[in-house]
């Protein structure tokens, strides 16, 4: 700090022009807050509001220290953050009202604003879930050599949830340029400190994780400005993350309008005494920086800006039902729709040099090709680094070649892994996240299902998460037990916004993974241990693609179509061989891609054979087989020789006992018996 | 342009509210921001301000409970 600035700051501790600018943002936030509360109170607006009244100073001050280039992540209680970050007020009000003119086409609403033009990248309604995503945005800035900082806002209540711990730990380990901005308003929804925590403070947790934490008065613009100036400079200079605990007080209830009726009256009254908007206004006048008239004019201008935004937002049409399936994926044709079965072009024959590869080698080769071609492709996951190259060796040699910033071994932290991939992909990078076993989806499902899958839709395609998640499955191997042997693809296929691939051969594993890495949507690729090491095949060298949504005829037949995917393909092909000896000609279709699904080729085959059996290792009840059979039966009723049928695992957790596991999941014998019964009409 | 008055949703769990008392008689001129009625919920009582200036037309009686979103009056 130069001597000159100190003199200018004088007794105020802040330059007068900066203090006035902070108040200008506070006035805009206050005008927005009042307009929302008035609109809701009169019945003019009908939406849920999570008031931030009392917390205006924090974003109003930060706004003086950052630009639209800096990234922000915030929460549903983040209207003040949006206003100060520079989200257009018309677009913001229209979004809150669910209108076409909304910054996200009215498809996300105020809890899901995403506006890359102002740097407001992600707004989440899941407490604590923004922090893992902020890490990913910060990774992109760091790897690209940009001096952007990422600020993730959350309340004190979010410090209790696991995602926050995972994100803080990863940011510390990787020294990411991210600021964890804890707006400590003393309340976690309807529960007050210390009812929900015995922690004496929150900033101390950063020190425990090996990085800097600071505590600031978030209601005092001069002190907060000075503190944040230092913090932002520190993070921008690449010195690592900082956790800021900014003290403030929430005047309103968790949701709705009016006062925080849970607060003790005396406490609320005392908090109002130190509320930043009124205090800053008085300071500007007392210090002779502004006159009463100037401030009145400034407030009137803020109200006029808000009134104009509200008037125009109310005139914007309600986003129509015709928008329902747009923005689920980049292309509407990938969305499963009743009666709509596009025939996508299949891959041609592959020419050129080949090499004998296992499934593992094919996955490794696909990643090697993608990483050579695009410096923004990077890999993260548990143990992915050399010499192991992942617990199954799918990445062996990649860290040695590309270094530990493009092949990033992570803490045992699935939520942090998926969140980092989401954030980096939103910024335009191409991350590949490896989740060691599909069974661990449960510990990161919020990031995958609530964030990766929905970002394109909730943002009205303003942003999206074009990432790949590679997941291994242990089912069929025997001895892994109930938490390492499941087939959970139905969790994924039942989540709109995720594409799901399950290749069964090395050649397809490589060609499909390369397509997935370039796909504009989040793609989960399932890799079964039953396939990783069991087969070898000539696989083309270099880059080639197998398109998503194209099933493959693996064996021609005329009496019945066996439809399957993944490792059950081994059983289906074996069963078809045995059935042929009995004089039953089974056609076998490998779906390969579960979403988008290729009903065109499935229906064409069953039209020919008149019979269908869908086989999967997943539990039969509510499985993908039920969905496929229902579509076949509805579409081909009248021309079928037998109703389409499904064969999946018994409704039970996967057993450790070898005798149970080998019988609870369809084996070749079970497939043969069922196919025989269908063909013979038994 | 007239402004329709409806029972507001003041919080997530609110499904109805009691229009405790009209503070302005029907047919009277009001200014934006004037208190026009008091609304009671199970959590709080709140004075509701006119969202626009004009003449208030009451369409329902006070002292009754109405569902959120129901039209209770108009400012013309």
> Residue B12 sits in a domain of what CATH number?
2.40.50.100
Mind listing the pLDDT tens digit for each residue in A580-607?
Answer: 999 999 999 999 999 999 999 999 999 9
Chain B residues close to A253, C-beta within 8 Å: 11
Check B51 against A48: CB less than 8 A apart. no
Q: What residues have CB less than 8 Å from A272, skipping those under 6 apart?
A: A251
Q: In angstroms, rounded to a whole number, what is the distance separating the alpha carbons of residues A144 and A139? A: 8
Both tokens of A341, joined, read 């079965």
- In this predicted structure, the answer to whether residue A212 has a pLDDT above a threshold of 60 is yes
Our measurement of the distance from residue A137's CA atom to the centroid of its chain's CA atoms, rounded to an integer in Å, reads: 12
What pLDDT was estimated at residue A9?
Answer: 55
Q: Which CATH class is domain A354-540?
A: alpha beta
Residue A4 pLDDT level (bands cut at 50, 70, 90): very low
Residue among A38, A44, A258 minimizing CB distance to B10: A258
Q: What residues have CB less than 8 Å from A237, skipping those under 6 apart?
A: none
Overall fold of domain A552-680? Rossmann fold (3.40.50)
Q: What residues have CB less than 8 Å from A491, skipping those under 6 apart?
A: A441, A445, A449
Residue A6 pLDDT level (bands cut at 50, 70, 90): very low
What pLDDT was estimated at residue A2?
Answer: 41
Question: Are the CB atoms for A605 and A551 separated by under 8 Å?
Answer: no
What pLDDT was estimated at residue A5?
Answer: 45
CB < 8 Å & 24+ apart, contacts of A113-118: A113/A78, A113/A82, A113/A87, A114/A455, A114/A458, A114/A459, A114/A462, A114/A463, A115/A82, A115/A85, A115/A87, A115/A88, A115/A91, A115/A462, A116/A462, A116/A463, A117/A68, A118/A68, A118/A85, A118/A86, A118/A87, A118/A88
Mind listing the pLDDT tens digit for each residue in A299-352?
Answer: 999 999 999 999 999 999 999 999 999 999 999 999 999 999 999 999 999 999
ipTM of the complex: 0.81
Residue among B44, B48, B68 minimizing CB distance to A42: B48
| Residue ranges per structural domain of chain A | 51-84+111-287, 354-540, 552-680
DSSP state of A558: S
What pLDDT was estimated at residue A457?
Answer: 98
- In this predicted structure, the answer to whether residue A501 has a pLDDT above a threshold of 50 is yes
Mind listing the pLDDT tens digit for each residue in A64-116?
Answer: 999 999 999 999 999 999 999 999 999 999 999 999 999 999 999 999 999 99
Mind listing the pLDDT tens digit for each residue in A107-164?
Answer: 999 999 999 999 999 999 999 999 999 999 999 999 999 999 999 999 999 999 999 9
Residue among A38, A44, A256 minimizing CB distance to B10: A256
* Residue A3: count of CB within 10 angstroms of its CB: 7
Q: In angstroms, rounded to a whole number, what is the distance separating the alpha carbons of residues A270 and A274? A: 7
Superfamily of domain A51-84+111-287: Thiamin diphosphate (ThDP)-binding fold, Pyr/PP domains (3.40.50.970)
Q: In angstroms, rounded to a whole number, what is the distance separating the alpha carbons of residues A264 and A523? A: 49
Mutation site, B4, B9, B32, B68, interface A, largest A CB count within 10 A: B9
Residue A212 has φ and ψ, to the nearest 5°, of -80, 135
Residues constituting chain B? 76
Residue B43 pLDDT level (bands cut at 50, 70, 90): confident
Residue B44 pLDDT level (bands cut at 50, 70, 90): confident
Q: In angstroms, rounded to a whole number, what is the distance separating the alpha carbons of residues A250 and A263? A: 9
What pLDDT was estimated at residue A12?
Answer: 86
Chain B residues close to A258, C-beta within 8 Å: 10, 44, 46
Contact A253/B at CB under 8 A: yes
- DSSP 3-state assignment of A486? coil
Exposed/middle/buried for A40, CB within 10 Å: 0-12, 13-18, 19+? buried
The stretch A213-223 carries a mean pLDDT of: 98
Both tokens of A64, joined, read 């003086």
Mind listing the pLDDT tens digit for each residue in A405-430?
Answer: 999 999 999 999 999 999 999 999 99
What pLDDT was estimated at residue A312?
Answer: 98
Check A41 against B8: CB less than 8 A apart. yes
Exposed/middle/buried for A447, CB within 10 Å: 0-12, 13-18, 19+? buried
Q: In angstroms, rounded to a whole number, what is the distance separating the alpha carbons of residues A110 and A390? A: 40
What pLDDT was estimated at residue A42?
Answer: 86
Q: Sheet containing A212-217: which strands, arranged edge to edge? A: A120-124, A71-75, A150-155, A178-184, A242-247, A212-217
Question: Are the CB atoms for A113 and A461 separated by under 8 Å?
Answer: no
Adjacent-strand bridge partners of A409: A381
What pLDDT was estimated at residue A682?
Answer: 60
Question: Are the CB atoms for A137 and A420 separated by under 8 Å?
Answer: no
Check A42 against B5: CB less than 8 A apart. yes
The stretch A465-485 carries a mean pLDDT of: 95
DSSP 3-state percent helix, strand, coil across chain A (nearest 5): 45, 15, 40
Q: In angstroms, rounded to a whole number, what is the distance separating the alpha carbons of residues B55 and B36? A: 11
Adjacent-strand bridge partners of A358: A536
Check A40 against B9: CB less than 8 A apart. yes
Mind listing the pLDDT tens digit for each residue in A165-189?
Answer: 999 999 999 999 999 999 999 999 9
The stretch A499-520 carries a mean pLDDT of: 98
Structural domain boundaries, residue B52: 3-75
Contact B9/A at CB under 8 A: yes
Question: Are the CB atoms for A130 and A151 separated by under 8 Å?
Answer: no
Contact A6/B at CB under 8 A: no
Rounded to the nearest 5 degrees, what angle is found at the Cα of A94, between the Cα atoms of A91 and A95? 80
Check B51 against A42: CB less than 8 A apart. yes
Mean pLDDT of chain A: 96
Q: What residues have CB less than 8 Å from A17, skipping those under 6 apart?
A: none
Alpha-helix residue ranges (DSSP H) falling in A144-192: 162-174
Q: Which chain B residue shows the shortest CA-CA distance from A262?
A: B43
The stretch B21-48 carries a mean pLDDT of: 91
The stretch B1-14 carries a mean pLDDT of: 85
Residues of A identified as active-site: 484
Residue with tokens 């993350």: A241
Q: Which chain A residue shows the shortest CA-CA distance from B43?
A: A261
Both tokens of A646, joined, read 């499904």
- High-pLDDT (> 70) share of chain A, %: 98
3-state secondary structure B48-66: EECCCCEEEEECCCCCEEE
The stretch A274-278 carries a mean pLDDT of: 96
Q: In angstroms, rounded to a whole number, what is the distance separating the alpha carbons of residues A614 and A647? A: 6
Residue A163 has φ and ψ, to the nearest 5°, of -55, -35
Give which of A489, A487, A485 is closest to A500, Cα–Cα.
A489
Alpha-carbon gap: A594 to the closest alpha carbon of chain B (Å): 38
Q: What residues have CB less than 8 Å from B54, skipping those under 6 apart?
A: B2, B3, B29, B30, B75, B76
């Amino acid at each position: 700090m130069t001597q000159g600035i100190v003199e200018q700051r004088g007794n105020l501790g802040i330059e007068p022009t900066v203090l006035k600018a902070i108040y200008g943002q506070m006035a805009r936030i206050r005008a927005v807050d009042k307009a929302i509360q008035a609109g809701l109170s009169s019945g003019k607006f009908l939406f849920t509001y999570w008031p931030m009244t009392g917390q205006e100073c924090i974003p109003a001050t930060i706004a003086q220290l950052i630009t639209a280039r800096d990234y922000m992540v915030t929460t549903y209680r983040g209207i003040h953050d949006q206003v100060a970050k520079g989200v257009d007020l018309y677009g913001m009000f229209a979004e809150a009202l669910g209108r076409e003119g909304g910054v996200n086409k009215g498809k996300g609403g105020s809890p899901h604003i995403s506006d890359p033009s102002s740097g407001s990248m992600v707004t989440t309604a899941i407490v604590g879930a923004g922090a893992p995503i902020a890490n990913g945005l910060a990774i992109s800035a760091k790897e690209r050599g940009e001096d952007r900082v990422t600020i993730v806002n959350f309340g004190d209540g979010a410090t209790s949830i696991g995602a926050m711990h995972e994100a803080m730990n990863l940011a510390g380990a990787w020294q990411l340029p991210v600021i964890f901005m804890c707006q400590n308003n003393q309340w976690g929804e309807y529960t007050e400190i210390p009812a929900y925590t015995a922690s004496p403070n929150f900033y101390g947790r950063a020190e425990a994780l090996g990085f800097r934490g600071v505590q600031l008065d978030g209601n005092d613009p001069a002190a907060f400005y000075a503190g944040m100036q230092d913090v932002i400079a520190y993070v921008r200079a690449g010195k690592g993350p900082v956790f800021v605990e900014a003290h403030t007080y929430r005047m309103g209830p968790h949701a709705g309008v009016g006062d925080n009726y849970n607060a003790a009256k005396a406490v609320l009254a005392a908090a109002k005494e130190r509320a930043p908007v009124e205090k800053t206004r008085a300071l500007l006048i007392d210090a002779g920086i502004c006159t009463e008239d100037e401030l009145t004019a400034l407030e009137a201008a803020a109200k006029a800006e808000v009134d104009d935004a509200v008037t125009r937002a109310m005139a914007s049409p309600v986003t129509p039902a015709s928008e329902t399936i747009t923005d689920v994926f980049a292309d509407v044709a990938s969305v499963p729709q009743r009666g709509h079965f596009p025939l996508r072009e299949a891959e041609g024959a592959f020419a050129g040099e080949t090499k004998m590869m296992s499934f593992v080698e094919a996955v490794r080769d696909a990643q090697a090709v993608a990483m050579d071609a695009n410096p923004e492709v990077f890999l993260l996951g548990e143990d992915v680094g050399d010499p192991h190259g992942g617990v199954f060796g799918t990445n062996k040699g990649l860290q040695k070649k590309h270094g530990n910033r493009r092949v990033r071994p992570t803490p045992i932290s699935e939520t942090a892994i998926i969140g980092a991939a989401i954030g980096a992909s939103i910024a335009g990078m191409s991350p590949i996240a490896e989740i060691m076993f599909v069974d661990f989806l449960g510990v990161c499902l919020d990031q995958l299902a609530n964030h990766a899958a929905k970002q394109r839709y909730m943002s009205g395609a303003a942003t999206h998460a074009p990432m790949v998640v590679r997941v291994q499955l242990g089912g069929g191997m025997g001895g892994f037990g109930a938490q390492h042997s499941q087939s959970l693809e139905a969790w994924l296929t039942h989540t709109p916004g995720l594409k799901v691939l399950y290749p069964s051969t090395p050649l397809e594993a490589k060609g499909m993974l390369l397509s997935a890495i370039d796909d504009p949507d989040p793609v989960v690729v399932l890799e079964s241990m039953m396939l990783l090491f069991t087969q070898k095949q000539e696989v083309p060298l270099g880059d080639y693609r197998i398109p998503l949504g194209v099933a493959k005829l693996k064996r021609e037949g005329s009496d019945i179509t066996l439809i399957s995917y993944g490792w059950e393909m081994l059983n289906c092909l074996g069963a078809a061989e045995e059935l042929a000896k009995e004089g039953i000609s089974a056609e076998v279709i490998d779906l390969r891609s579960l979403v988008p699904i290729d009903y065109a080729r499935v229906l064409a085959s069953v039209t020919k054979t008149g019979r269908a059996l869908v086989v999967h290792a997943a539990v039969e009840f509510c499985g993908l087989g039920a969905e496929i059979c229902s579509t076949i039966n509805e579409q081909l009723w009248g021309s079928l020789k037998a109703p389409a049928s499904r064969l999946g695992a018994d409704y039970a957790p996967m057993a450790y006992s070898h005798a149970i596991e080998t019988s609870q999941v369809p084996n070749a014998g079970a497939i043969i018996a069922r196919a025989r019964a269908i063909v013979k009409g038994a | 342009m007239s402004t329709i008055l409806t029972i507001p949703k003041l919080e997530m769990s609110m499904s109805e509210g009691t229009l405790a008392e009209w503070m302005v008689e029907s047919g009277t001129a009001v200014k934006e921001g004037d208190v026009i009625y008091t609304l009671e919920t199970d959590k709080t009582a709140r004075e509701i301000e006119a969202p626009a200036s004009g003449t208030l037309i009451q369409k329902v009686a006070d002292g009754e409970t109405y569902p959120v979103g129901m039209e209770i009056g108009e400012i013309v």
